[in-house]
Amino acid sequence: MLRYFTSLSLLMFLFAGWAQEETIDLQPKDTVVHKQTYGLRVGVDLSRIILTQTSDDYKGLEIVADYRLNQKLYIAGEIGTEDKTTQEDLYNFTTSGSYIKLGIDYNTYENWYGMNNSIFIGGRFALSSFSQTLNNFDYYDTSRYWNPDAFPNGSSEAQEFDGLNASWLEFIFGLKAELFTNLYLGGSLRIAFLTNNKESEDFPNLFIPGFNKVTDDSKFGIGYNYSITYMIPLYKKANKRKKEKPELEQGPERPEKPNDGPRN
């Protein structure tokens, strides 16, 4: 009986020592794999559709799309057509043509799990091919003695200038918010810089499809769009975990030197 009690005591002592060596992790790691949807997002620009329905001098359509490469980066682009008639003081003209824009978007927004919103910056290279028709014009008269209320009539016969083209670069700032599953509402502001502008010698390019209005002595333009898009989900991919910074190990504290008192 004594031998049995001694063996049991020794076994309990060894088990207690082994349990003290095992460390308890008070901050367990998250083992849940977070996956995000990857796919092709396609939609239209709402602003051009609204202008087409509300204005007699404008017709336009723009298709927008992007494809997700990783958590932050997207390949993006737009393709569209515009037909716009503009009335100025001396002339009336119509611009008609199409354009294409290709580039990338970079999402700067950190989403919570399950969210797919984005606040992005991006860039595009754009090309446009179009024609302009000078519908009518008046002569500019500095004196206006004989006709003080209007300029002298020039011509009401339409003149068409075709084979025109332009290219430009765009810097984009925008956002996209997920309204429902895979359905997004977005908007963007675009600052463009003309790199090429082929125009007629008889009539300048005053409006370029996709670029917007061209101002005198300036290569910059400003545009915008409001889009509604739907993502076609293709696959899901786990998020990359951020690397945790290693904690700095603290060395043993140095013992304080004993105070020997003042020295002579």
Question: Is pLDDT larger for residue 46 or for residue 28?
Answer: 46
- Interatomic CA distance for residues 204 and 215, integer angstroms: 11
Instruction: Report pTM.
Output: 0.74
pLDDT band at 158 (very low <50, low <70, confident <90, very high): confident
State the average pLDDT over residues 217-227. 92
Tens-place pLDDT, residues 35-91: 788 999 999 999 999 999 999 999 999 999 999 999 899 999 999 999 999 988 778
* pLDDT exceeds cutoff 80 at 1: no
| pLDDT tens-digit series, residues 100-136 | 999 999 999 988 777 789 999 999 999 999 999 998 8
Q: What pLDDT is recorded for position 8? A: 47
pLDDT of residue 251: 52
Whether the per-residue pLDDT at 155 is higher than 70: the answer is no
At 223 the pLDDT is: 93
Is the pLDDT at 255 greater than 70? The verdict is: no
Domain ranges (residues) in the chain: 34-238
Name the band, by pLDDT with cuts 50, 70 and 90, for residue 264: very low
Query: Average pLDDT of the chain?
Result: 81
Q: pLDDT band at 9, cuts 50/70/90?
A: low
Q: Which residue would you say has higher pLDDT here, 28 or 187?
A: 187
pLDDT (0 to 100) of residue 192: 97
Yes or no: is domain 34-238 CATH 2.40.160.20? yes
